[in-house]
Amino acid sequence: MSGKKSIKYSEIKAKLGIVSNNKMGDDVAYFTHYLQNTDTKDSIYYIEQAERFIAEQCDKLGLDKERVAKEFTNVDWSEVPFPPVKNPKFTFIDLFAGIGGMRIAFQNLGGKCVYSNEWQPYAKITYEANFGEVPFGDITKVDANTIPNHQVLLAGFPCQPFSIAGVSKKNALGREHGFKDLTQGTLFFDIVRILEAKNTPVFLLENVKNLISHDKGNTFKIIKGTLEDLGYTIYPKVLDGKYFVPQHRERILIAGFRDKTFNHNEKFDFPEMPKPTAIVRDIILNEVDKKYTLTDKLWNYLQNYAIKHKEKGNGFGFGLVDFDGITRTISARYYKDGSEALIPQKGKNPRRLTPRECANLQGFPPEFIIPVSDNQGYRQFGNSVVRPLIQAVGEKLVKSLLSANEPPKSKKSVR
Give catalytic residues, as residue numbers.
Answer: 159
Residue pair 388/244 in contact by the 8 Å Cβ criterion:
yes
Three-state SS string across the chain, please? CCCCCCEEHHHHHHHHCCCCCCCCCHHHHHHHHHHHCCCCHHHHHCHHHHHHHHHHHHHHHCCCHHHHHHHCCCEECCCCCCCCCCCCCEEEEEECCCCCHHHHHHHHCCEEEEEEECCCHHHHHHHHHHHCCCCECCHHHCCHHHCCCCCEEEECCCCCCCCHHHHHHHHHCCCCCHHHCCCCHHHHHHHHHHHHHHCCCEEEEEEEHHHCCHHHHHHHHHHHHHHHHCCEEEEEEEEEHHHCCCECCEEEEEEEEEHHHHCCCCCCCCCCCCCCCCCHHHHCCCCCCHHHECCHHHHHHHHHHHHHHHHCCCCCCCCECCCCCCECCCCCCHHHHCCCCEEEECCEEEEECCHHHHHHHCCCCCCCCCCCCHHHHHHHHHCCCCHHHHHHHHHHHHHHHHCCCCCHHHHCCCC
Nearest alpha-carbon partner for 413 in 193, 206, 258: 258
